[in-house]
């Protein structure tokens, strides 16, 4: 199936183009039309739980399932929904992980956000709340509502802004250390119980001439993910949440520097080569090719890092939560991860229909389809998984997420963009050995104070 199948909107755009050519010269001469007014209402649009659903008209949806593997999911659901409601026509705009941000920004800038759109949690989702572009869904999907009770509480909670529910979580994501059971057995190491044991295991694997953990940090977010998990182990959650907000940020807790020192030691003992010059893809490949024993990855990737086609076979794949350092003062039961989900556009002229469609997507049946292969995305619907059709590792990973006391959001999405940029670049320097932990923290503090103004 080619990518173009999922870009029906392209056709619309080019059809419009010919009309635009006529106005082009006019537009070129008058720039005044470029400062776009924002028609979004000053009032927050709140969903009405008693609204009648009018099953007619078009419904446009921006998804993040544009990749070959994932794109059929929404295509199939849209077909099923249209069978139930023949007067509804669904327009899908399917983007990939890389392109969805760009696409969303364009749609926002031109005030043409679709009725339903994909969003991450944290700052990215907050943008839509700030701009009053998302519908307040509390009456329909709040934690006490009928629909809200069918969704995993932690996932639902991640889309709460100003104590109101703005998003519907679709699936959960979290970070685990994947490992190669065969290599572990050959070298004679056990799954480590503590962070210190992990470092010792790395030494043994090194001695056997294998890279313990493959790390590709050219894109600079992979190390940020390591750090997020270490921070929640070393710094109390309340302190972290206070520091996420530039107006109250201090970054004075000693756990910050401790986490950075732990990572620095991990980098020296567990990784090889020059991580900053290695792409993320290359690191995944090294793990799949059995050239490394471990690789820190998202549960969404479990289905991809060991397949029948890779050198490493699915039965050799195991995973564990990044182990807790001795004497850490944070929350040892927390896990780094975040749900991803959808919001309804405040500018939509058929909000009840959009809500009805989202309810349909988050049914148990459709949740099970999403959790199973080939998608392997752990559904945020309670009971939205069927262990018989799923990769057992994904099942076990989901159980771990359910047990977690707190979901630590990704550092680069929860922080103000400028603070996130300081984390990204500071940690890359730490990884390259050109910055000390204290220096990284002072760069983060500076960015937070700059962001406050």
Partner 1 sequence: METIRQTPDGAASCGAITDMQGPSPTRRLFDKLLSLRWVLLAVIIVSGFIYIPIVENFRVSMTNRDIFTGEVSNVGLTNYQRLLDDPVVWRALLNNTFYALISIFFQVFCAFVLAAIIEGLRNRRVRNFWRAVYFIPSAISTTVTGLLFYFIYQPDVGLMDAALTFLGLEQFSHPWLALESTAIFGIIAMSQWQGFGYSTLLFSIAIQKIPRELYDAATMDGAGPVRQLFSITFPMAREMSGLMIIVTITGAFQVFNEVMVMTSGGPSNSSQVLGTWFYEQAFILNDFGYGAAIAAIIFVVTMLTGIAQVWYTRKRRVQL
Partner 2 sequence: MPVSAQQTAPTDIWSTLARAVLLGFLLCLGILVIYPLLWMALSGFKTNSQIFNAPFDLPTGFSWANYVAAWNQGVRSFLVSSIVVTASSAACTVLISAWTAYGLTRTRMPAKPIITAFILGGMMLSPTVALIPLVRMMQSIGLYNTHWALIILYTAFRIPFTTFLIRAYMLELPSDLDEAARMDGASDRQIFWRIMLPLCRPIIVSSVILHVLFAWNEYLFAMIFTSDLDVQTLPVGLTSLMAKHGTNYAQVFAAMTISALPIVILFFLMQRYFIRGLTEGIGK
3-state secondary structure of 109: helix
* 274-278, long-range: CB < 8 A, 24+ apart: 274/432, 275/215, 275/216, 275/217, 275/223, 275/431, 276/217, 276/218, 276/220, 276/428, 276/431, 276/432, 277/218, 278/214, 278/215, 278/216, 278/217, 278/218
Question: Can you tell me the distance from the alpha carbon of 218 to that of 213, in angstroms, rounded to the nearest whole number?
Answer: 16
C-alpha to C-alpha distance for 278 and 193, rounded to whole angstroms: 29
- Cβ of residue 91: shortest distance to partner 2, in angstroms? 15
Identified binder of partner 1 from the candidate list 64, 133, 225, 267, rule CB under 8 A: 133
All residues at 6 or more sequence positions from 5 whose CB lies less than 8 Å from its CB, including other chains: 71
418 binds, among partner 2, partner 1, none (CB under 5 to 8 A by kind): partner 1
276 binds, options partner 2, partner 1, none, Cβ within 5 to 8 A by partner type: partner 1
| Residue 27: both structure tokens together | 């537009």
Q: If contact means CB under 5 to 8 A according to the sort of partner, which of partner 2, partner 1, none does residue 56 touch?
A: none
Give least dist CB 373 to partner 1, A: 31
Residue 32 binds partner 2 (CB under 8 A):
no
| Complex with partner 2: residue 11 or 153, whichever CB lies closer | 11
Strand-pair partners of 32: none
> Can you read off the two tokens belonging to residue 229?
């998990």
Is 31 an interacting residue with respect to partner 1 (CB under 8 A)?
yes
Q: Which of 163, 136, 121 shows the shortest CA–CA distance to 41?
A: 136
Strand partners, 341: 119, 169
Pairing of strands 160-161, 168-180: unpaired
CB 321 within 8 A of CB 197: no
Interface with partner 1 (CB under 8 A), residue from 91, 132, 304, 439: 132
Query: Binding string, 249-278, against partner 1, x = CB under 8 A?
Result: ------------------------xxxxxx
Cβ of residue 40: shortest distance to partner 2, in angstroms?
A: 16
Binding partner of 196, given partner 1, partner 2, none, CB within 5-8 angstroms per partner class: none
Closest to partner 2 by CB, 79 or 102: 102
Specify the residue, 120 or 128, whose C-beta has the smaller distance to partner 1: 128
Neighbours of 15 (CB within 10 A): 9
Which secondary-structure segment (H or E) carries 302? helix 302-305
Residues 6+ apart with CB under 8 A from 449: 246
Distance CA 278, CA 281 (A): 8
Residue with smaller CB distance to partner 1, 107 or 353: 107
Give the three-class secondary structure for 297: strand
DSSP strand pairing (292-298 vs 168-180): antiparallel
107-146 binders of partner 2 (CB under 8 A): 109-110
Selection from 90, 107, 116 nearest residue 6 by Cα: 90
274 binds, among partner 1, partner 2, none (CB under 5 to 8 A by kind): partner 1
Stretch touching partner 2 by CB under 8 A, among 101-109, 323-331, 347-355, 427-435: 101-109
Q: Which is nearer to partner 1, 49 or 417 (CB)?
A: 417
Q: Which of 1, 4, 162, 190 binds partner 2 (CB under 8 A)?
A: 4
How near is the Cβ of 34 to partner 2 at its closest, in Å?
5
Residue 130, binding choice from partner 2, partner 1, none, Cβ under 5 to 8 Å by partner class: partner 1
Residue 14 as a binder of partner 2 (CB under 8 A): the answer is: yes
The residues that touch partner 2, with contacts defined as CB under 8 A, are 3-4, 7, 10, 13-14, 16-17, 20-21, 23-24, 27-28, 31, 33-34, 36, 95, 98-99, 102-103, 106, 109-110, 279, 281-282, 284-285
The residues that touch partner 1, with contacts defined as CB under 8 A, are 25, 27-29, 31, 34-38, 40, 105, 108-109, 127-128, 130-133, 217-220, 273-278, 417-418, 421, 425-426, 428-429, 431-432, 434-435
């Amino acid at each position: 199936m080619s990518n173009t199948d999922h870009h029906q909107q392209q056709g619309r755009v080019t059809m419009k183009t010919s009309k635009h050519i006529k106005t082009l010269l006019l537009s070129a001469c008058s720039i005044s039309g470029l400062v776009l007014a924002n028609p979004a209402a000053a009032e927050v649009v709140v969903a009405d739980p008693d609204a009648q659903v009018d099953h007619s008209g078009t419904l446009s949806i921006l998804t993040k399932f544009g990749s070959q593997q994932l794109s059929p999911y929404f295509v199939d659901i849209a077909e099923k929904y249209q069978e139930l409601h023949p007067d509804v026509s669904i327009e899908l705009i399917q983007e990939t992980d890389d392109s969805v941000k760009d696409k969303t920004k364009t749609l926002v800038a031109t005030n043409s956000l679709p009725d339903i759109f994909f969003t991450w949690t944290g700052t990215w989702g907050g943008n839509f709340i700030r701009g009053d572009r998302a519908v307040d869904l509390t009456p329909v999907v709040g934690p006490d509502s009928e629909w809200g009770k069918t969704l995993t509480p932690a996932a639902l909670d991640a889309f709460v802004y100003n104590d109101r529910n703005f998003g519907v979580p679709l699936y959960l994501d979290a970070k685990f250390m994947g490992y190669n059971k065969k290599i572990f057995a050959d070298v004679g190491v056990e799954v480590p119980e503590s962070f210190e044991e992990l470092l010792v295991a790395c030494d043994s694997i090194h001695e056997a001439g294998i890279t313990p953990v493959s790390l590709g940090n050219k894109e600079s977010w992979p190390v940020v993910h390591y750090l997020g998990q270490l921070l929640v182990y070393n710094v109390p959650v309340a302190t972290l949440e206070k520091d996420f907000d530039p107006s109250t940020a201090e970054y004075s807790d000693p756990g910050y520097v401790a986490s950075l020192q732990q990572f620095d030691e991990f980098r020296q003992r567990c990784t090889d080569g020059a991580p900053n010059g290695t792409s993320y893809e290359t690191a995944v490949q090294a793990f799949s090719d059995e050239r490394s024993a471990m690789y820190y990855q998202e549960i969404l990737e479990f289905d991809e890092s060991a397949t029948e086609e890779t050198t490493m076979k699915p039965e050799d794949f195991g995973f564990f939560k990044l182990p807790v350092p001795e004497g850490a003062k944070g929350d040892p039961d927390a896990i780094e991860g975040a749900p991803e989900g959808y919001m309804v556009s405040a500018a939509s002229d058929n909000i009840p229909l959009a809500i009805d469609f989202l309810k349909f997507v988050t049914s148990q049946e459709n949740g099970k389809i999403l959790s199973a292969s080939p998608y392997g995305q752990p559904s945020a619907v309670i009971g939205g998984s069927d262990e018989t059709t799923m990769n057992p590792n994904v099942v076990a990973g989901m159980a771990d997420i359910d047990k977690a006391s707190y979901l630590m959001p990704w550092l680069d999405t929860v922080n103000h963009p400028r603070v996130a940029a300081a984390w990204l670049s500071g940690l890359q320097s730490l990884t390259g050995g050109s910055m000390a932990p204290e220096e990284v923290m002072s760069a983060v503090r500076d960015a937070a104070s700059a962001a406050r103004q």
